[in-house]
Every structure is written in C-alpha cells, then in structure tokens.
Structure 1
Amino acid sequence: MKDHESEEMYLETILVLKGERPAVRSIDIADKLGYAKSSVSRGVSLLQDRGYIKVADDGFIDFTEAGAKKAETIYERHNVLTKLFVALGADTELAEANACRIEHVIDDGIFDLIKKYVDNKR
C-alpha cells in the first residue's frame, strides 16, 4: 500500500463489505476493488501492521477500534459529499466517483462546513 488514499480505500471497502455480508476476507476486497490478490494481501498486511485491522486464523478480517473509527470517518465523507453533489444536480454515478476522489484530500474544516450545509438542507 503506497499511500494514504490507498489505505483509506481499503478501510472503506472493508466497512462496506461488512455491511453486505457476515464476514470479510482478503478475496472479497480483491473482488470488490478489482485488485490482484497479491496487492490486497500486502495492503491487508500493512493495515494490520498499522493497527487498523485484525486477521483471524481463518482469514476473516475485523476492525480494531481505531480502524473502525477511521473507516467510518472516510465513509461519512463519501456519503456527505455524494449527497452534496447530487443536490447540486450531478447524477448519482458522477457524484459517487467524484466524492470517492475528494474524500481523501479534503481539509477537515472544509468538510465540517459541507457537512453542516448538507445537514441543514435536509
């Protein structure tokens, strides 16, 4: 895993997969992201080394407290930004794609302003 964005994509993907199925394995992440199994294996290992996930002997992945918090923060950014872009008139697919890129680089203060704005528009 070479950068911050990649780390966040893995965490977000694990969170989404955990919402879709009872257990998540590396192969599920590879399938969801379209990545090679070897790349995902390395990424999972790095997330484990950084204390974001635990991998059981049977290969099932679970978050640590820190990992769950970080994944939920990333996913919240994705959802709020998507809602903003859709509200501005973007189609959902385009909104999702742009939110996915922006969620990794947006400043916390700016995101908080956007979140307040979106929450007030509901």
Structure 2
Amino acid sequence: MRLTSSMEDYLEAVYILFQKQGDVRCVDVAEYLEVTKPSVSRAVKELTKAKYLRKDSSGILSLTSSGEQVAAAVYERHCFFMERLIAAGVDSKTAEADACRMEHGISPEAFEKLRRSIERQGEEVK
C-alpha cells in the first residue's frame, strides 16, 4: 500500500499523541487532526490492514515498527520545515500549515541532502 499524505498524517498524529499522553484512541486522533471519527475509523482500518498500526480490544492504537518509522520520518520533516519557516520570519500558524504540506512533498533523498546542506552551513538541525 502506497501511503497518501493523509495516511501519513494519521500515523504522525498517533506518534505525537503517544509521546504526549501514552494511550491513544480514535477520538484523540479525530480531535487532534480536527476530522470526524468515521474518517479516523476508515484510516485505522486501512493502516491496520497495511500493518502500520494496531488497535487492541480496548480501542488503544499503537504503531507497528514500520508505522513508527514512517511517522518518525514525517514528524522529523515537519519539525525541520516548521523551524526553518519560523526562523525565516513566517508566523507560527502559517509555518505549521506550510510545514504540513512540505513534509509530504519532498523525497527522502532531497530531504536528506537539504538537511546535510544546512548542517554544513553550521546550523544545528534537531
């Protein structure tokens, strides 16, 4: 299954929410992403089928190892772009929205080269 940017957003949301609060349920993801619960249920079903996500009998969501790899990479790109946009003077709300779009549109190779280029310029990359 090729992950869409929307599916990556769901994985990233589970990743972030787990770090913040531990247990993650569909309702948490719906609130975080400001989407409907049925949308989350459909995404969870697809991501579970593709083995990126697990849902236990009590409704707790967890990332599989492959799901965590994808989510961590998406989140890294998001933070990278958001930090640079804010440093360039973009307001945080716009930077958040733009970083969300940028994190999905860049290839892993281009992102890595961009990150290394900035590191060579002496800027710390988190």
SS at 2:105's partner residue?
coil
TM-score by structure 1 length? 0.91
Q: Is the 8 A contact 1:80 1:118 kept in 2?
A: no
CA RMSD between the two structures: 1.3
TM-score by structure 2 length? 0.88
After superposition, the C-alpha distances for 1:101-121 in whole angstroms (9 at most, x for unaligned) are 111111222211221244431
Is 1:48 the counterpart of 2:48? The answer is yes
CA, structure 1 residues 19+83, in 2 after alignment: closer, same or farther (shift >3 Å)?
Answer: same
* CA distance, structure 2, for counterparts of residue 5 and residue 91 of structure 1: 23
Q: Is the 8 A contact 1:17 1:24 kept in 2?
A: yes
- The percent of aligned pairs where both chains have the same amino acid is 33
Is 1:14 the counterpart of 2:14? The answer is yes
Aligned-partner residue type, residue 13 of structure 1: A
Gaps of 5+ in 2: none
* CA distance, structure 1, for counterparts of residue 82 and residue 68 of structure 2: 21
Is 1:121 the counterpart of 2:118? The answer is no
Number of residue equivalences: 120
**How big is the shift at 1:84?**
1.5
Gaps of 5+ in 1: none
* CA distance, structure 2, for counterparts of residue 61 and residue 78 of structure 1: 22
Is 1:78 the counterpart of 2:74? The answer is no
Consecutive aligned runs of 4 or more in structure 1 exceeding 6 Å deviation = none
